[in-house]
Structure formats: structure tokens, C-alpha cells
């Protein structure tokens, strides 16, 4: 392997190599990006003031995180995505809550719509952007954030020389041990695609290193928590209703709204929701889905119970500090058990 040192290059040999180069924002060559009005996510950090209006093209994790941030700051946000649901890998009830909250913040959701063209409007007094949709609609906006995903940062790696091929988005395919098609070359993190989270990427790096050095390690695949830092925050672990229905697994649901919990009332979070999904017969906890304050922290309680094959009864028989958002687990457990009849 050839390594650049800033003063030239040198050859480096290794028994095992891990590729963890991450991704870069995907650009469409037909779009006139200028870094001022038509932006990628990196450009957001250079904005000197808040626009009056912003259109976000692409309702993925990054697009929605920025959309909800700007909406919370009072910017009139429009989100466009050709899919009919926000974040299809998240439980639909949770994303419905997110959509409602965004609309309460005056955000407009244009789902099932496709952008055909973005055009800079040259106006000395107020230069803006025209967003044209395939349906014939037009949106005039101060800023347009183009966020249709990310591309693996693999262009400069000379992968062909190593016998590895990237896909059309620059991503690398790996097996369950995180090996590429060349067994001693591993790939981890965003460069291998979903879920592309810092937490899962770090764990993938650990697992790849353990495998490379024949060190036994426990694999927590299937119990990776997802943290999405929209406003409100979303976090989830395990299966959602749609996945369980498709798999034919009988389940029941227990819910707790933050407004029912003293800590939720203290925080003023009236829209938060914690949802437990458990097996109808064994009561084993199958999934936890949360939207609201501290969701990404709260999720780890459910994750720990799931890792030990715990049941919903654990929450019924456990005492939580008062007032805490963790009490939602007990309230949701009672709700779920009451649904069993």
C-alpha cells in the first residue's frame, strides 16, 4: 500500500488493512452548486446568517436533521423527497409523529415528488433559487440544500490494484466479518453503507480488528441502536411493526406519551412518545422506538433488556427514579400488558 506523507509517498506493508475512509456528500453534475444558495451539507457550516426560506432536497437522515433545525429556528422549510414516507427504515408511527411536529413548525413536506431542475435566480436585491419539480410545481427559495445521500470516499484509493471494486456510489461490499472480496482487506463505517452512524462504525472497526487478529468477540448485530438528531430526536433499536408484520411474528405494543410523565411535563415536551413492541405469547421485548427529548440516551435501557432476551415484565417489576423520562418504560409496559386482555 502506498501512503502519502505530505512530503512524498512511501510503501507500507500490513497483514491486514481496514478501509475506513467514510463518505462525501453526493453531487449531481447537472446542478449549479455555488456554496452560497445551492448547498451541500458541508456548506451549511459556512452560512453567515439565517435565510427566510430553505428547500431541502432529500429527506434522508442528514436532510431531515438540518430541515428540523432550521424549522425550529423559524426558517420556512420545504422538504422534497420522491419516497412516500419519511425514513422508511424507522417505525412509521414514529415518523408520522416527526412529520406532524415539522408541520407544526410550519415546514412543508412534498413527499412523492421528484426534483427535475435547480436554477439560480440572479437578482441584485434578493438572489434566490428556483426548484422545479417533475410534477410541474415550482418553489422559489432563498437557499436549497441538496441532500440525496453520500458517496464513498474511495476514488483516490486505486482499488483496482488491490482487486476490489466499489459500487456506483463508491461503497464497498463486505461479508459478515466485514471482509471485502480480498480477505485480508476489511472495510467499515460509512464506506460500506447503511446504517452509516458513528456508533456502529466504531463497533464495526472493533469487530474487523478482532477478526483480523483471530481475537474472539461478541457480535451485537441486530441490536445496534440508531440515533437520529432531528428535532424532536429519534432513537430506535430492534424490530419495528412493519418488519414484524411482514415476518408474521405475533406482537403487541405498549406506549407512553411524555405528557403522561412528570419529567415530560417539567421539560414541556408534550409530543414525545416511547413505544415498546413485544412478542404476544412470550412477552420478549422485540423493539423500542422513541421520539422526543433524550431519545438517544433513553434507548439504551431497552437495548440492554433486549440483549438479555428480557420480557416486558422487567419494566413492570422495576422501580425507576422519579421524575425521569425512564418512567416511560414502566408506563408503556403497563399499557402493553393491558392490551393483552
Written as one string, the DSSP assignment of 68-106 is HHHHHTT-EEEEEESSSSSSTTS-HHHHHHHHHHHHHTT
Cα–Cα distance measured from residue 145 to residue 203, given in angstroms and rounded to the nearest whole number: 31
Q: What's residue 341's pLDDT?
A: 77
Q: Cell 406532524 sits at which residue?
A: 100
Please report, to the nearest 10 degrees, the dihedral formed by the alpha carbons of residues 83, 84, 85, 88 taken in order. -50
Cα–Cα distance measured from residue 259 to residue 328, given in angstroms and rounded to the nearest whole number: 10
Burial classification of residue 291, based on how many CB atoms lie within 10 Å of its CB (0-12 exposed, 13-18 middle, 19 or more buried):
buried
Residue 82's CB is within 10 A of a number of other CB atoms, namely 16
All domains in the chain, ordered by first residue:
25-150 (3.50.50.60), 232-339 (3.30.390.30)
Cα–Cα distance measured from residue 117 to residue 132, given in angstroms and rounded to the nearest whole number: 5
Q: What's residue 12's pLDDT?
A: 82
Reading the chain (341 residues) residue by residue, the pLDDT tens digits are 555 666 777 788 899 999 999 999 999 989 999 999 999 999 999 999 999 999 999 999 999 999 999 999 999 999 999 999 999 999 999 999 999 999 999 999 999 999 999 999 998 889 999 999 999 999 999 999 999 989 999 999 999 999 999 999 999 999 999 999 999 999 999 999 998 989 999 999 999 999 999 998 876 556 899 999 999 999 999 999 999 999 999 999 999 999 999 999 999 998 999 999 999 999 999 999 999 999 999 999 999 999 999 999 999 999 999 999 999 999 999 999 999 97
SS3 (DSSP) at 268 = coil
Q: What's residue 6's pLDDT?
A: 66
Copy the grid coordinates of residue 229: 438528531
118 and 39 Cβ atoms separated by less than 8 Å: no
The b-or-e profile of 119-143 (16+ CB within 10 A means b, else e) is ebeeeeeeebbebebeeeeebebbb
Please report, to the nearest 10 degrees, the dihedral formed by the alpha carbons of residues 332, 225, 85, 176 taken in order. -140
Q: Cell 455555488 sits at which residue?
A: 34
CA 176 to chain centre: 21
Using only C-alpha atoms, the chain has a radius of gyration, in whole angstroms, of: 23
Residue 156's CB is within 10 A of a number of other CB atoms, namely 8
Q: What's residue 108's pLDDT?
A: 97
Q: What's residue 98's pLDDT?
A: 97
304 and 267 Cβ atoms separated by less than 8 Å: no
Q: What's residue 223's pLDDT?
A: 87
Amino acid at each position: 500500500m502506498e501512503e502519502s506523507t505530505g512530503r512524498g509517498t512511501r510503501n507500507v506493508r500490513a497483514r491486514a488493512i481496514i478501509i475506513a475512509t467514510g463518505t462525501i456528500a453526493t453531487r449531481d453534475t447537472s446542478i449549479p452548486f455555488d456554496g452560497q444558495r445551492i448547498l451541500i451539507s458541508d456548506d451549511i457550516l459556512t452560512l453567515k446568517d439565517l435565510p427566510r426560506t430553505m428547500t431541502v432536497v432529500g429527506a434522508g437522515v442528514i436532510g431531515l436533521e438540518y430541515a428540523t433545525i432550521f424549522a425550529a429556528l423559524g426558517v420556512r422549510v420545504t422538504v422534497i423527497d420522491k419516497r412516500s414516507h419519511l425514513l422508511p427504515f424507522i417505525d412509521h408511527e414514529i415518523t408520522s409523529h416527526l412529520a406532524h411536529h415539522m408541520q407544526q413548525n410550519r415546514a412543508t413536506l412534498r413527499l412523492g415528488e421528484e426534483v427535475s431542475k435547480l436554477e439560480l435566480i440572479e437578482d441584485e436585491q434578493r438572489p434566490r433559487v428556483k426548484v422545479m419539480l417533475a410534477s410541474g410545481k415550482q418553489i422559489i427559495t432563498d437557499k436549497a440544500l441538496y441532500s440525496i445521500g453520500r458517496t464513498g470516499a474511495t476514488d483516490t484509493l486505486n482499488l483496482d490494484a488491490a482487486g476490489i471494486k466499489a459500487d456506483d456510489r463508491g461503497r464497498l461490499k463486505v461479508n459478515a466479518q466485514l471482509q471485502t472480496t480480498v480477505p485480508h482487506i476489511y472495510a467499515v463505517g460509512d464506506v460500506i453503507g447503511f446504517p452509516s452512524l458513528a456508533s456502529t462504525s466504531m463497533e464495526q472497526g472493533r469487530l474487523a480488528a478482532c477478526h483480523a487478529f483471530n481475537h474472539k468477540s461478541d457480535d451485537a448485530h441486530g441490536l445496534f441502536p440508531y440515533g437520529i438528531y432531528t428535532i424532536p430526536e429519534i432513537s430506535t433499536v430492534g424490530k419495528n411493526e412493519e418488519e414484524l408484520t411482514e415476518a408474521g411474528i405475533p406482537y403487541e405494543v405498549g406506549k407512553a406519551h411524555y405528557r403522561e410523565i412528570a419529567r415530560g411535563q417539567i421539560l414541556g415536551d408534550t409530543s414525545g412518545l416511547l413505544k415498546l413492541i413485544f412478542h404476544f405469547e412470550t412477552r420478549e421485548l422485540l423493539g423500542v422506538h422513541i421520539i422526543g427529548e433524550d431519545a438517544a440516551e433513553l434507548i439504551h435501557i431497552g437495548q440492554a433488556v433486549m440483549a438479555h432476551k428480557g420480557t416486558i415484565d422487567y419494566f413492570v417489576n422495576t422501580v425507576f427514579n422519579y421524575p425521569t423520562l425512564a418512567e416511560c418504560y414502566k408506563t408503556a409496559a403497563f399499557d402493553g400488558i393491558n392490551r393483552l386482555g
